[in-house]
Amino acid sequence: MDYAAAKTTMCRQCGRHFSTTAPKAGLQIRTKEFGSVAPEQSGFRKIEGLWNRQRSRVVACFECKRKHEASEAATSTNCPGCSAHIDLRDYKITTSFSRSIRTRGEIHLTAKGDLSSSSVICQSALIEGKLRGNLQCDETATIMTLLLLY
């Protein structure tokens, strides 16, 4: 149940915000009449519903390694086993950066980026710039280098 004094709320099915106040006087509300038959959905409408479903991904905890499902739209989650915070964001590093990173997302270190960190843990990484420190990827680590021959 939503808060009674709320001006807007979020639809739990589609995620959009809508007003909780009564509809405006100029709007007509369609009511379902008893005895009427609902129109048959076309095949395209049935298939279209498959693409509109909310996607989820499996995330493993850093601490206890327990796996659980999280929405692809989420930027972070908590482990249901040990309540540890799990970062799901993607990082794009374009300048100097010297903090440790622990994410289940992707890291993109651009050509002008400079990452000096004692610990970088990620799902996958694309390294084009300077990296000083330890890199641990669960999936792939792509290192792009420019070779200069004299």
Q: Give the pLDDT confidence of 27-73 residue by residue, as tens digits.
A: 454 444 444 444 555 666 666 655 666 688 899 999 999 999 998 88
Overall pTM surpassing 0.75 (yes/no): no
Strand partners, 17: 10
Q: Is the pLDDT of residue 121 over 90?
A: yes
Q: What is the mean pLDDT of residues 98-124?
A: 92
Distances (CA, A) of 61 to 2, 5, 28, 85, 107: 31, 38, 50, 8, 18
Kindly report, residue by residue over 78-102, the tens digit of the pLDDT: 999 898 999 999 999 999 999 999 9
Angle at 35 between CA 32 and CA 37, to 5 degrees: 75
- 14 three-state secondary structure: coil
Strand pairing report for 85-87 and 76-78: antiparallel
